[in-house]
Amino acid sequence: MYILENTKLKATIIGISLSVSLVLTSAVAGDNIGKKAVDGGVKYKIKDGKYTSYYVNTQEAKYNHGRLATKKEIAAWNVDVMPDGTGLPEFDTHKGEVVLGDDGKPKKAEGSVAKGNELYDSKCVMCHGDFGNGGKGYPGLVGGTVGSLKNQLMNPADDEPNMDPPKRSIGSYWPYASTLFWYIQDAMPFPHPKSLTNSETYAIVAYLLSVNEIQIDGKKLDDDYVLDRAKFLKIVMPNVNGFYPNVDTKKNPNQCNASKRW
């Protein structure tokens, strides 16, 4: 029987160990190229026993953090409404697509004050109170006047601390109704945001404008009044000019012509 000498045995074992080590290292390195970790992150290639981004060119790896949003997904989330009417929906939509009516045509987005009252009582009253007067811990949506915004809180130690504080509500403070539509559709009702259709949002907006005694094109909003995009664009809020400093002077009385800003 052939017996290895002690020196040859050591050399053989060392050689085999190095070979196995090199094979395993190359296999691990190859397995890590382009693969992702359990948490979805990128696994870096192993180089010289080091594997972080500090020792390799990260541009060589292909990253896959999610994917590009589809046009429908973008449309479903792109619900912001600008003061000039940009983004204000004309039709009902669902997941970014226009909803068709029974006649096969796009379903017009519109809502009445009466329908808005019904929706308010079922989805909003528990927080904002009856007729928008406010609930415990939640703001009131009606009341106040534009003129009252100039009132200053008085020191209780004053001789006559009886001036009413300013009350900011939809009717007295908000300069544009677009914010009202956008906020309701995007963030309300509180337990289930983004659940309202465009028509339901129009209806709730119509109701809130009604209880704030806002007129549209000189018309009062009674229960039968139906709000849609065309009528919405005619809304002029009482405090539309309240967010611009009044710099008019006798010599230049029209410096602050805020009505032409939009």
Give the highest mean pLDDT range of 30-44, 45-59, 188-202: 188-202
Q: Where are the CATH 1.10.760.10 domain residues in the chain?
A: 71-259
How many other CB atoms are there within 10 angstroms of residue 32's CB atom? Answer: 17
- CATH classification for the domain delimited by 71-259, as one of 1.10.760.10, 3.40.228.10, 3.40.720.10, 3.40.50.300: 1.10.760.10
Residue pair 140/127 in contact by the 8 Å Cβ criterion: no
What is the C-alpha separation between 210 and 218, in angstroms, rounded?
13
Enumerate long-range contacts of 248-255, CB under 8 Å, 24 or more apart: none
Q: pLDDT band at residue 115, thresholds of 50, 70 and 90? A: very high
DSSP 131: G
Residue pair 218/225 in contact by the 8 Å Cβ criterion: no
Predicted local confidence at residue 136, as pLDDT: 76
Q: pTM (2 decimals)? A: 0.67
Residue pair 44/32 in contact by the 8 Å Cβ criterion: yes
CA-based torsion, 49, 55, 56, 58: positive or negative = positive
